[in-house]
Amino acid sequence: MWRVETNLPVRLAVINIQGVTVSDERTAFAQLKACAEKYRARYADQPVSAVPGVEHSRRLFHSIGQDPTKRRPSSEALLHRALKGKELNPINTLVDVGNWCSLDFLLPICIYDADRVVGAVEVRLGRSGESYVGHNDQVMQMENRYVIADEQGPMGSPITDSQRTAVTLATKNVFICIFAPGDYEKLKLQAQGKTLAQRTLLYCDGRVQESGLL
């Protein structure tokens, strides 16, 4: 069960997919690279802020008083690498699909191994002293930042997710979440959630158990 803290200025698309097959094939990664190359071909000589769509994730952060240029939303971090021609790293088919969609939509996307999530999940602001070890091996201090937390504490954010609930080649069931600002168009977010689910099933199989907006 997922819920959003009252009055948090965020809109989410949440998808539960079961029975996925995660591999280290680079099929989805090829799509991520192609998406990055498309951005670079069009916007390489322009600042990140000039790319249409980047304002949504920035507004998401500004709405809680966070500077998105200091700790970038994961989608903007991908875009920054793409425009600079920096190498993108393949992870696995599922994470590569998530990164592809995040760069395509210019919205942060979080993916969790559902079997490593403990109890109910809440999207809220981080509390004093809360932290976790991210995919980047850094300790992420999360006070007053967006967090996704289960009953053991924060497990991710629109910056980077935690190692504790990370997807591996053994993952079978997943939660996927798209972060958008609270005023983001519902129909557009629904369509993006559907596209994300379709791409996941294409590259990782599985079946959609549940999906919706919060």
Predicted local distance difference test score (pLDDT) of residue 91: 97
* Average pLDDT value for residue range 61-69: 93
Statement: residue 150 has pLDDT above 90 = yes
Question: Across-strand partners of 146?
Answer: 125
Q: Average pLDDT, whole number, for the chain?
A: 96
Residue ranges and CATH numbers for the domains of the chain are 2-213 (3.50.40.10)
The CB density around residue 32, as the number of other CB atoms within 10 Å, is: 26
> Nearest to residue 144, comparing CAs of 8, 38, 24?
8
* Average pLDDT value for residue range 2-11: 95
* Average pLDDT value for residue range 120-149: 94
* Average pLDDT value for residue range 146-154: 97
* Average pLDDT value for residue range 114-130: 97
Q: Per-residue pLDDT tens for 184-197?
A: 999 999 999 999 99
Q: Strand (E) positions, the chain?
A: 2-4, 10-18, 109-113, 121-125, 131-133, 139-141, 146-150, 153-156, 173-181, 207-213
Q: How many helices (H) does the chain have, and how many strands (E)? A: 5, 10
Contacts of 199 (CB under 8 A, 6+ apart): 28, 31, 97, 100, 101
Q: CA-to-CA distance for 185 and 189, rounded, in angstroms?
A: 6
* Average pLDDT value for residue range 157-163: 96
Contact between 18 and 172 under an 8 Å Cβ cutoff? The reply is yes
> Please, what is the end-to-end C-alpha distance for the chain in angstroms?
11
Q: Per-residue pLDDT tens for 25-57?
A: 999 999 999 999 999 999 998 999 999 999 999
Predicted local distance difference test score (pLDDT) of residue 31: 99
**pLDDT > 70 in the chain, percent:** 100
Predicted local distance difference test score (pLDDT) of residue 1: 80
Predicted local distance difference test score (pLDDT) of residue 112: 98
Mark 195-212 as b/e (b = at least 16 C-beta within 10 Å). Answer: ebbebbbebbebebeebe
Q: Strand (E) positions, 1-127?
A: 2-4, 10-18, 109-113, 121-125
Residue 69: pLDDT band with limits 50, 70, 90: confident
* Average pLDDT value for residue range 49-75: 95
> Nearest to residue 156, comparing CAs of 194, 181, 124?
124
